[in-house]
Structure 1
């Protein structure tokens, strides 16, 4: 089942359909309105034939014009030649002294406009040259017969008006073409920006999902290697923690890949969710909103602290103010900031403790601060992918982010996330 909405009614009409409609209007309008004596004379009086014979000739030229309309999309220049021929024939414009009224050129002007809007520039220029050349050639014959290349009083000759309308039709088609090209350019830029933003989002999630667990695994593996002979029980505990961290990392990757695969599926095809048993440190009351593939949040801080403590880093969590539920994107960003900061402390700070503070005292924001008294995070603070990803997360949420060494030693990461209207 397709979810693409149908096109508006007017856009369902093909270029040939619009041109055929314009031809019918140009043929029927003079008889109904009775406002163009010259045109009616060209249709009926110039041949000096009966009305039945005149309408039979109009029907013949109409068949020719409809054939041109059918060819308009595949062979635009050939179709335009047939339309011009039918127009000149039905109006007797090839006879002496007969001018082409603008109403007779409706089909030709419509075809010129559509060709200019839809076809390559070379084709549109050839079509414009063809129409303007025919009209100028027709006008060139009229001055010898007292006709209309010149303004007569305050009025413009009928053929002069037809030439002006043809120029306007070409300009309208060109404007439509430029608008479409501009829209396509904007669409391509928006698509490129969306792809880039999605790649950055996936990169952040992959980094935040894997980096913490891999850091814990590396520390536990090193500890197990050092005590495997003297303290086999400690080595077994470290290996158990490695197994748990590895399973949780794989589960997180499966959830992420499942979400990416589901986005590629048709919305009408159900994709089975990937279930996995909760980790040994997951609180029994933890609940994640449906549809978010159990993304972590601040409710997982106790589990994060327990996992990190098993790797030799004590995390002191302090809450200020009343805890309140946050929107999923705020909750996830807050957890990722803490997780990445704690991971950096484990990997770089060379310390045994750090402090995590979550300040919820203000109703319109949540403030997060992670501090340690280690030896710092390297010579260039914030140069890694982790902190760069955190800056991007906070910037997308219109918050403030700071990561820098502390004056008295150690490192400090702080973030302020606006939550105005974000309490669910």
Structure 2
């Protein structure tokens, strides 16, 4: 559809240029005879003028070929003595089209062809030689038309480059947005798993203990059920905080993220759930980056949760936190049956721990201990002053 409109517009332009050129050809009367061999305007000359204008209809499809086709009758007019050989209106239109729609080499070829046609018509024609000032004017006009066409082409190329650059930036922005969304989904999944898995594991162990002593010791069973209720409320509170952040139409009750300062409460919770747990802190505690502090807490939480689920009854877990000058060493180990191969201790929680530790450039080691038991250990590098 666009091509058809372009052809129609070029055809209309060719008709307008032909009408204007014929009118100038008929009405132009020099003050003095051009030469004895010169010819006045007649029907044959008008036909040549029209033939020079016909290629304008193909100026965008074949601009150089159209220019060469127009120069033949135009030069013939000069050679037959109809005019002084000055480039006519169709030649200027086609020269502009070549310069604005083709590359530099083709555009220079079009300019050279126009100059050559003018020189041939001026030198070989019977008309009186034009003055140097007239020849200079013709050269300036041809150069100006060619330069205007090249300027338009360069402007088009510049605008096209801007559009391409904008499209590339938009695609890059879309890719970054997708990557950010994927990372955010992964982060939310880690947080939800850490919260739900830990609290549900504690509730399962406490529920199992309450079921065993329900008949023999109702009071102890009631304490276990109270602990289950308390743990469930904590899980619901943390889940509401996480989900509330995701909602745009509700305000979440935000609070500080847990860190190493909350390890005593976590250890006490694990003791109440039935896992004998000790906390050892070595070195001088100091402020840590928020991300490292949270990652270390989640590692301890996941390690203790796995010990609670897999270490077996009577197992003991030890949490060791070593503050070194340029490193934070966090270790969770137990003496249960997890190292015997009965329980491999793998799942989404440990995958999330690997992602957290890798995010901050840490080194993670997970596996059974030589003498029995299981270990989860991470070493986080710290910069000076952290």
When normalised by structure 2's length, the TM-score is: 0.65
Partner secondary structure for residue 210 of structure 1: helix
1:371 maps onto 2:333 in alignment: yes
For 2:256, the equivalent position in structure 1 comes to 294
Give the Cα–Cα distance (whole angstroms) in 2 for the partners of residues 189 and 80 of structure 1: 38
Q: Which moved more, 1:202-211 or 1:401-410?
A: 401-410
Task: State the partner residue of 1:229.
Answer: 215
Matches within 5 A, 1:336-351: 336-350=298-312, 351=314
Question: Are 1:393 and 2:379 an aligned pair?
Answer: no
Q: Which residue of 2 aligns with 1:109?
A: none
Q: Deviations over 1:69-95 (max 9, x none)?
A: xxxxxx998998999899999999963
Q: 5 Å matches for 1:232-247?
A: 232-247=218-233
Bigger proportion of residues as helix: 2
CA deviations over 1:376-422 (Å, ceiling 9, x no partner): 26568563101100010111112211111112211111111233267
Displacement of 1:167 in angstroms is 4.3
CA deviation vs aligned residue, 1:187-225 (integer Å, no higher than 9, x gap)? 221111111101110000001011111011001101111
Aligned pairs, number: 293
Larger radius of gyration: 2
Q: Which residue of 1 aligns with 2:27?
A: none
Partner of 2:168: 182
Q: Separation in 2 of the partners of 1:236 and 1:320?
A: 38
Query: Do the aligned partners of 1:381 and 1:403 also contact (CA within 8 Å) in 2?
Result: no
The alpha-carbon distance between structure 1 residues 390 and 138, as it changes in their structure 2 partners (threshold 3 A), is same
Contact residue 193 and residue 349 of structure 2 kept, 8 A: yes
Mapping 1:69-218, distance limit 5 Å: 95=21, 132-133=60-61, 136=64, 137=66, 140-146=69-75, 147=87, 149-151=110-112, 152=115, 157-218=143-204
Aligned to 1:418: 381
SS in structure 2 opposite 1:324? coil
Maintained 8 Å contact 1:316/1:354: yes
Give the whole-Å Cα distance in 2 for the aligned partners of 1:244 and 1:319: 28
Structure 1 unaligned segments of length 5 or more: list them.
1-74, 99-128, 266-270, 275-291
Distance in 2, matches of 1:372 and 1:204, equals: 24
1:258 aligns with 2:244: yes
Shift of 1:160: 4.5
Query: Are positions 1:356 and 2:319 aligned together?
Result: yes
Taking structure 1 as the reference length, the TM-score comes to 0.60
